[in-house]
Structure 1
């Protein structure tokens, strides 16, 4: 049995464990619409992990509700993550539709905060130490939910031409099923089903933006916060089909034999994710939401903000130094020469512009910047930040409530060389500073920044506004989170204006 298949068996066993012998006084029991679950008490917080919200999945098919069970099932351990590369620390299984709940009490009607994990639709889970909901729950007297769902080829491989009409968006349908579970059950966990906030970072934010254009998600959430994650356009069906063809070739399958995909092992499907992307021309094959005219019939923020969700307040944010979070082991990028920068920028930006012209403009705007500082600033502005601006402007033009933030607080790791990188806002919002490679410990400065961001997100979840003016044109009010947070109108205006004249290409689309 290969590694992923072995984890499939182990993970399913953990999630469906038989009731333990712990007394009811020590372990709370909640009733769901499918059966009762037993959690655990840690201090003043009740935790339920690995609650099944969907039945075991059928590959490339929409999810379905779980079968009811008798007795009490343990909810004491996280459920398995969707099969993927690079997540050796967790069990993996195609049977991955599980969620986790942190609550102060099973009674009451508190705001509900549902976190959707990132990972570029390709990796990740709701079981990370970064997103443990205990501190956020206790700090704000809110109910916190995290979840797993199908990602990469399992959630987004577009196989409509081969008999799987829903396949390009089943990962999104999993999220909708999870939100339906929240609507139907969170009241029994002390939450208010009429006050549900979805929030997510990177790919999680992109998934949320996509949900805002999916009719089946209408009414399932009442606020939305996206952290360094945008989805201006989905993948078109023709490009999605090109990616499927390349993926099948990577698997050694002819297109006519695509249905054999349901019979091969999960490990084989994961291994083929390394197939080069035929649309982008670099990187591994991209899978994400598809404009399939079935579940998604318009782009989330093109040509405008999706009308169905204009009444939902949005909090849209980015970090100041997003691309410093993509450095990895390549520390040479901190010591680039001016000759190096154009070549590096060519594949890091999401706009089609001469990199040499970008360097020229940035050297004029920031004459004291080093080559590496120009690289990080320009690649950040042309990538995640540009998508956020398009979404904010779309909401502003529609008169819909949206609020902007930018995280400038420098992470202390390695003398601060990473600035405010991609993912830094996750541990700050959840209060899990020691779980972050960029922070690593609980300091007075980190605690203060974390409290500020936690308070902001909790206020937004509770009231629909975070404490500053909405993003309007031409003011562009933006909260700058730092040791001394403040509101700035149109921050980095010159950078914004430079890239605004160049068409934006959604990553992956």
Structure 2
């Protein structure tokens, strides 16, 4: 059944009733020509049907039928009959900045159980969102995907009250590449006052690319159109993405990161290194939750061939601490490994994911901000986690589950399925903590989960049972610290490159 029409700044829309939740899908928040900054969509007067997901952002597997200009849409789930303004969760999907979309995340269950208003968005991906052509005279602006996300945030701030949401209680959230987007967005002057808290799941340690790297990528891609570089503005999408794929394969072994795209420190859209903004206290009034999965790197080790970040992370650790330091670390990981743990994977997960996130937490806490740190240790009974353990995306699968079932992921082409009692127990706790954070800015009562502060660095473990462990204990922590003091290199940044992205949000 269709909903009543709801007014927006561009015109009225109607959605569908899903039990106790109203869903509005494929809501256009902007339009964009190729390599141009997004602009508001054309206004309309008759109610616009928003009953199905909008076009996917062009990406591998969705190129032949892609519609470039109209992929910038968002989806809203809101409880019917709310008697007060509700908190808002605005979620930015992951996918290595080249895949994914808001259609993979059905927010009806979270909306009903919040109660909260849930919003998922599309943004431009791959070369359309991240190829920096501005300094080559071929594009109108840099960081187009970041500008897309800002446009979505602006739309939510201006319109969400009409859907029962509180524009002053918006939580920026994202996973994987989306978490990198959140960390970058949170630091931008354009976003100030438009969100109240931030949740980043599985963000890598370095969340920003250098302008030099972005220029190098642009030059290499343009070289693929050597006869006429300006043709890049009009070539068919399969040809454009094919050129980018060729460049990406070469970059995997020729750069410090092995990656192609991500938010860029361009001095304009992103004027400052995000970590520096957190460290100087500019965001001390923003509650922050940083989460990761225990075995983040397993997925990337088991990919065929293994993801470039594997080689990159080992190379960076060796560069920071020397070959002897690497061997010492690996020896400690072998000596302290769990029965089911791959010491090499655990070392890489700490270097690329866990330690950098702890470093960001320390910066935010030292600047006076409230921050919570978590790790997801539960193995969902759903592939790839059933065979790979709590690897990258395990927490995300549980966050969006419609208990007692995991949801289907149409863009990733992964089916959901029934959850085990353990899945339900852990997912329910995780969802409740997220919804409490969205509502109050605190994920749990202080006695159950204290915030992160100097001298006390609690790490919440989502498993059976939920429990808290001290982060700064154990032989592994000590050897990292000793090597960092000997090398004079900050611990987290020594082990990660300046340019970081991730492959899949799972």
Both structures adopt the same fold (TM-score exceeding 0.5): yes
1:441 aligns with 2:418: yes
Summarize the Cα distance change of 1:106–1:221 in structure 2 as closer, same or farther, 3 Å threshold.
farther
What does residue 326 of structure 1 align with?
Answer: 300
1:260 aligns with 2:231: yes
- Give unpaired runs (5+ residues) of structure 2: 409-413, 502-506
What does residue 403 of structure 1 align with?
Answer: 372
Q: Which of the numbers 117, 126, 130 marks the counterpart of 1:143?
A: 117
Matches within 5 A, 1:21-420: 26-55=2-31, 57-86=32-61, 93-105=68-80, 108-128=84-104, 131-163=105-137, 167-230=141-204, 232-249=206-223, 251-253=224-226, 257-274=228-245, 275-276=247-248, 278=251, 281=254, 286-302=260-276, 305=279, 307-328=281-302, 330=304, 346-349=311-314, 351-353=316-318, 357-367=325-335, 369=337, 373-413=342-382, 416-420=386-390
CA–CA separation in structure 2 for the residues paired with 1:372 and 1:38: 51
Summarize the Cα distance change of 1:238–1:506 in structure 2 as closer, same or farther, 3 Å threshold.
closer
What's the C-alpha RMSD, in Å, of the aligned pairs? 2.9
Report 1 or 2 for greater relative contact order, CA contacts < 8 Å, sequence distance ≥ 6: 2
CA–CA separation in structure 2 for the residues paired with 1:404 and 1:417: 26
CA–CA separation in structure 2 for the residues paired with 1:117 and 1:325: 18
CA contact (8 A) 2:280 2:367 kept: no
Shift of 1:309: 2.4
Comparing 58-67 and 343-352, the one that deviates more? 343-352
CA contact (8 A) 2:2 2:14 kept: no
For the residue of structure 1 that corresponds to 2:271, the secondary structure is coil
What does residue 400 of structure 2 align with?
Answer: 430
CA–CA separation in structure 1 for the residues paired with 2:66 and 2:20: 28
- Give unpaired runs (5+ residues) of structure 1: 1-24, 334-342
Q: TM-score, normalised by structure 2?
A: 0.85
CA–CA separation in structure 2 for the residues paired with 1:507 and 1:280: 14
Summarize the Cα distance change of 1:165–1:120 in structure 2 as closer, same or farther, 3 Å threshold.
same
Summarize the Cα distance change of 1:98–1:425 in structure 2 as closer, same or farther, 3 Å threshold.
same
Summarize the Cα distance change of 1:444–1:358 in structure 2 as closer, same or farther, 3 Å threshold.
same
Shift of 1:90: 9.0
CA contact (8 A) 2:400 2:406 kept: no
Shift of 1:265: 1.8
CA–CA separation in structure 2 for the residues paired with 1:396 and 1:74: 45
CA–CA separation in structure 2 for the residues paired with 1:46 and 1:390: 40
CA–CA separation in structure 2 for the residues paired with 1:28 and 1:199: 29
Q: Deviations over 1:411-439 (max 9, x none)?
A: 33579542211001112112244237698
What does residue 340 of structure 1 align with?
Answer: none
CA contact (8 A) 2:317 2:326 kept: no
Shift of 1:387: 2.3
CA–CA separation in structure 1 for the residues paired with 2:260 and 2:309: 21
Shift of 1:166: 5.4
CA contact (8 A) 1:300 1:306 kept: no
Summarize the Cα distance change of 1:54–1:453 in structure 2 as closer, same or farther, 3 Å threshold.
same
Q: Deviations over 1:248-306 (max 9, x none)?
A: 12x3236xx54332122222221122113548627875121122111111110048536
Shift of 1:496: 4.0
CA–CA separation in structure 2 for the residues paired with 1:273 and 1:396: 40
CA–CA separation in structure 2 for the residues paired with 1:139 and 1:326: 34
CA contact (8 A) 1:199 1:224 kept: yes
CA–CA separation in structure 2 for the residues paired with 1:287 and 1:137: 32
Summarize the Cα distance change of 1:102–1:325 in structure 2 as closer, same or farther, 3 Å threshold.
same
For the residue of structure 2 that corresponds to 1:29, the secondary structure is coil
CA–CA separation in structure 2 for the residues paired with 1:279 and 1:242: 13
CA–CA separation in structure 2 for the residues paired with 1:93 and 1:346: 34
Matches within 5 A, 1:467-486: 467=444, 468-486=449-467
CA contact (8 A) 2:329 2:480 kept: no
Q: Deviations over 1:202-243 (max 9, x none)?
A: 000000000122211111111100000146352121121111
Q: How many residues align?
A: 469
What does residue 18 of structure 1 align with?
Answer: none
Comparing 36-45 and 486-495, the one that deviates more? 486-495
